Amino acid sequence: AEISNRAIQVVDDDDDGTLVVFPPGPTELARRKILRSDLLRAFGVDDHHLDRTPPKPPPTKRRAHPERKQRRRLPRSDSDPNFAVGFLKDVAWYEDQIAHVERLEARAPSFGRLTSRLRFDLSRLAPHPLYEHQALAADAALRRRSVALCTGTASGKSLAYNIPTVEFASANPGRCVALYLYPTKALAQDQLQKMRRTFDCAALAHVTVATLDGDVSFGERRDVVESPPSILLTNPDMLHYTILPNGGYRAALLSSLRLVVVDEAHSYVGAFGAHVACVLRRLRRLCPRDLVFFCASATIANPLAHARALLGVEDVVVVDKDTSPRNEKAVVVWNPPLLRSTEAAKEAASSDEAGAKDLVAARVVAPPELKKKKKKGDGPSSKDIVAVAPLEEKKKKETKDARSWRHRLVYDLASDDERAPDEEGLLTVDERARAEKAEESRREVLEAFLEKLPHGDPDGEGAVTFAARRSAIFETARVFATLAKAKVRCICFARTRKLVELVLSYAKDLVDASLEAKICAYRGGYDKAERRRIEEGLFGGSLVGVVATCALELGVDVGDLDATVHLGHPGSIASLWQQAGRAGRRPKSQSAAIVVCWDSPLDQQFARCGSRLLNRPVEAAALDLGSNEAVLRSHLLCAAFERPLDRRADVDLFFQGGESSSSSSSSLTKAASFSFEECVSHLRRRGRLRALEDGTFGAHPTVKKPAKDVDLRLVDPESFQVIDDEADRPMDDVPYSRAFFELYEGAIYLHQAKPFLITKLDLGNFTARAKALPTCNYRTAARDVTDVDPTKTLESWRKDVSTGYVHVRTDVWGYKKLDRRTGAVLSLHTVTLPALEFDTRGTWIDVPKEAVDAVGDLYAAIHAASHAILAVAPLFVLGADVSDVQSEHAHPQQKRTRPARVVVYDARPGGVGVADTIFRRIDAVLTQALDLLEDCPCGARSGCPSCLFSPSCSAYNLRLDKVGAAIILRTILARRRPPREEDDDGAFVVGPDESPRDDDDDDTPRRKVR
């Protein structure tokens, strides 16, 4: 290394060529540290390898130079061993917000060795010993077996699949041997730069890397086809739209393909996962040889089943023991402090549209089975009612609705009705197994929920008094700003773009002007140059903190961080560990993950029961290709366009494997053949397929590029550009579906926490003009309404239940100005905008008149019944994700008259098959939903997190009537369920089916279940 005044150059001794150029540091010592760190990183070595270098002699004591700036050290507190916990406890504004601290102890690494022989020197690619899981996974891939590697963040998964890739490239120089699939373009670009540095520094010049995505120009695409790289980095969308349908791409890139890497495999769930599973099957049928698949995933509960369902491959080697080192980490559950009564009166008057609904009151009754005899001196017995009410409304009569619009949560006595008897035969074996797992999970949540309920009678009046809590947004900003002031490098995660900007805005108000430039936001919508600048700043250390959406949850390398802050529980334990893994990668360092709870029922449950919930196993990845018949039909048409369908080969490829592989072989083959014939017949009836002379099925000549009509993910076809009036240049992109909620005229739009006033929304040119404001003491929130109405009935059963097409219409009709600090409503305004609407598949149930007359708040009861149906839907559609199916939600302020109807619909235009599956299994669905309500002993009229609360509810679970929902479901089942009489072959008729109808008087389709 030749050290000059400008830079450090790493020179190749053989040809005197410059390999790497590093920028200068402030001193020679700093430059040497940068060189060492970057060289290790360039060789694909993570920072944990630094811990394995030989021990150095203790440094000699030196006197500090009087003019040298001393490094600022983080204040430490002796009250807690973790730096972040102790530091936050010492700040002046700490008010016992820490509800729980879960400590993860450090873990030593475990090393392994490859048993396979390689054509290249492994020490050039991996200068240090391999972790045991890296060696096991690489060995399996080298033996040409598909692999599912499921380990934590920063465990070296990239090196594990790079080893077999380099081996295949060494055996086939000049050929494209590996296809790397990433879920996002940003992740592919990040990996591209790292791989090029790795292979260049390892002297593996024959291994070339290139990307192929939407940002690649047509000239660069032509170069990829003419000179195929050894490794092609792309995404499922590009594979679906461009590579598979195009013969030129297929010949150049797939003819020599050996390995397919599916990175972040845990993200392929629900309808999106079903689409990607079909794309991978189409890839397999077009490749001339069997492929080796390598799934790299975060830790999930079902790695083998998920890999089989995603790939359609039975022989998968699972490596799920993480042997990489782990540093100490503290997971802090941070509950915002209770407000004083005067502050509560101000803040409770307005609802937080971002989702921070205040938990103001709760009335709790112990369930009957938990009753104990009260002894003298004990706490309240089950006969006592522990009521939680606002200070000023402690004795006020309860409203009919369990929770008013001011966010009160009232627990009342449960219904005394006996549980309906279990209907034998309603569930299949797989459905019953999933139901048992779901019931066990709900029981754990409920036990934890009841365990932490408040007890006692401090006021002597049978009540425990709570007030509203401080805004979680502001509390998150304060934690983030405090860490930034102490030079603690951190990422703050928020779910939406608007929350990201709000947190950053509040945080910049709390820091000095010198620190404002060192914290920023990272989210979708920014242009590529701005995103790269933020990534480089965070990686290089010029940024202290970033507030981000889940874009940084995936494997983008953002350097060494000390802490993560989370606005609300991410929704799953797996996502929490994935986000928290962004910090604590330096050897022998400490890190912290601080989860700031919303004042909503679900997050407050997390605050009460943090230890039990954090120690629960990670969730399973839900993917079921067989239940998504609409997805299968669309991709069968795409496959027929690429190459005619062959009955024998394609039945095995598209309709076997995955979760259903536990079934017997003969029954599985028969069911798969039937499903294949059904899909082919459906496409032939609609003129999309035609039978060929050799017995195969090809796309009809009128079908042109069917892949263009199949969207893998719900992506808006258009987006609005936000143009800065002063600079007259685009500064942001907003998806079409969100534009009406954020870019109406008069809206306050935030960009890097700077307020802009939207002055004009041009619907014709898809642009919005924004005027920069020096300051703004208010924010805006859209006022909207969504209606779901059936438009065409395709099938009905016993008049009450129907399935068909529904029209989903959302109207943004106004907005309100809210005080930036308190959230109080300042003024109301109206706007005129087109409706956001689409057609999809749905299933709806008309509520009988006797049930309408029996319930109090009809909309609350219908809302709760919809929640119950959505809660049990995964039992029947394994791949049902919360983003795939939705229902109408009753808002607390809703006064419009709506039909007495329970409706669930597919959230994607055109449908994904979930609503139709619910119709086919309607008896079982309704029975399981009723059991869910009647079995839960929470004693809550409004339900609880184990039975009714849903994290995806747009009305924040604020208008639910559990007793009314049970009445509706019980009435529908009583009217629809005929006497259980056996037919002549010993089967029961339990619900509709799509099997061919018999030519008898009753043309209603039915299915026989034994």
Please state the pTM of the whole predicted model: 0.70
The continuous run of DSSP H or E covering 485 comes out as: helix 472-485
Per-residue burial over 379-412, b if 16 or more Cβ lie within 10 Å, else e, is: ebebeeebbbbbeeeeeeebeebbbbebbbbbbb
> Per the structure block, which two tokens stand in for 280?
């991978």
Q: Taking the CA atoms of 971, 973, 978 and 980 in sequence, report the sign of the dihedral they define.
A: negative
CA–CA distance, 848 with 565 (Å, rounded to integer)? 48
Backbone dihedral angles phi then psi of residue 946, each to the nearest 5 degrees: -90, -10
Backbone dihedral angles phi then psi of residue 90, each to the nearest 5 degrees: -90, -5
- Ranges of residues in the chain with a pLDDT under 70 are 1-8, 14-81, 340-468, 551-559, 600-602, 626-628, 656-674, 714-717, 877-883, 891-896, 912, 946, 951-952, 956, 976-1010
Confidence at residue 1007, expressed as pLDDT on a 0 to 100 scale: 33
Confidence at residue 861, expressed as pLDDT on a 0 to 100 scale: 92
CA–CA distance, 838 with 954 (Å, rounded to integer)? 18
CA–CA distance, 476 with 481 (Å, rounded to integer)? 8
Confidence at residue 576, expressed as pLDDT on a 0 to 100 scale: 87
pLDDT tens, position by position, 966-1006: 999 999 888 765 444 333 333 333 345 433 333 333 333 33
Amino acid letter at 248?
Answer: G
What radius of gyration, in Å, describes the C-alpha atoms of the chain? 30
Confidence at residue 559, expressed as pLDDT on a 0 to 100 scale: 62
What is the 3-class SS of 902-943, one letter each residue?
EEEEECCCCCCCHHHHHHHCHHHHHHHHHHHHHHCCCCCCCC
CA–CA distance, 728 with 745 (Å, rounded to integer)? 18
Amino acid letter at 787?
Answer: D
CA–CA distance, 939 with 829 (Å, rounded to integer)? 41
CA–CA distance, 652 with 37 (Å, rounded to integer)? 50
Confidence at residue 429, expressed as pLDDT on a 0 to 100 scale: 56
Phi-psi region of 121 (alpha: psi -120 to 50; beta: other; left: phi over 0): beta
Confidence at residue 877, expressed as pLDDT on a 0 to 100 scale: 62
**Residues contacting 648, CB < 8 A, separation 6+:** none
What is the 3-class SS of 505-518, one letter each residue?
HHHHHHCCHHHHCC
**Residues contacting 369, CB < 8 A, separation 6+:** 937
CA–CA distance, 47 with 40 (Å, rounded to integer)? 8
The continuous run of DSSP H or E covering 780 comes out as: strand 778-797
> Per the structure block, which two tokens stand in for 932?
């869910």
> Per the structure block, which two tokens stand in for 427?
């569930």
> Per the structure block, which two tokens stand in for 225?
């086809």
pLDDT tens, position by position, 510-525: 999 889 999 999 887 7
